[in-house]
Structure 1
Amino acid sequence: MNPSTPGGPIELTILMPCLNEAETLAVCIEKAQGFLARSGIAGEVLISDNGSTDGSQQIATDLGARVSEAPRRGYGAALINGIENARGRYIIMGDADDSYDFVNLDGFVERLRGGADLVMGNRFKGGIAPGAMPPLHKYLGNPVLSGIGQLFFRPNIGDFHCGLRGFNKDRIRDLDLQTTGMEFASEMVVKSSLARYRIEEVPTTLKKDGRSRPPHLRSWHDGWRHLRFLLLFAPRWLFVYPGLVAFFLGALAVGILSFGGVTIAGVGFDVTTMVYASALCVIGYQSLLFFWLTKLFATQEGFLPASPRYRAIVAKWSAERGLLIGLALFLLGVVIGIVQVARWGSLDFGPQDATQVIRIAIPSALGIMLGFQTIMMSFFSGVLTTPRRQVRPDAVIES
Structure 2
Amino acid sequence: MNFPFFIARRYLFSKKSTHVINVISSISVIGVAVATMALVIVLSVFNGFHDLVATLFTSFDPQLKVVPMEGKTAPADDPILTQIRMLPQVDVATETVEDQALAIYDDRQAMVRIKGVDDNFSELSHINDILYGDGSFSLHAANLQYGTVGIRLAQTLGIGAKWDGFMKIYAPQKEGQLDMMNPDAGFVVDSLNSPGVLFAVKQSKYDKNYIITSIAFARNLFGQQGMLSDLEIRLKEGSDLQAVKAEMQKIAGTKYKVLDRFEQQEDTFKIMSIEKLMAYIFLTFILVVACFNIIGSLSMLIIDKKNDVVTLRNLGANDKQITRVFLFEGRMIAVIGAVIGIGLGLLLCWLQQQYGFVRLGDSEGSFIVNAYPVSVHYSDVAIIFVTVIAVGWLAVWYPVRALSKRLLS
TM score, norm. by length of structure 1: 0.25
Q: Rg: which structure is higher? A: 2
Greater RCO (CA < 8 Å, at least 6 residues apart) = 2
Structure with the larger strand share: 2
With normalisation by structure 2, the TM-score equals 0.25
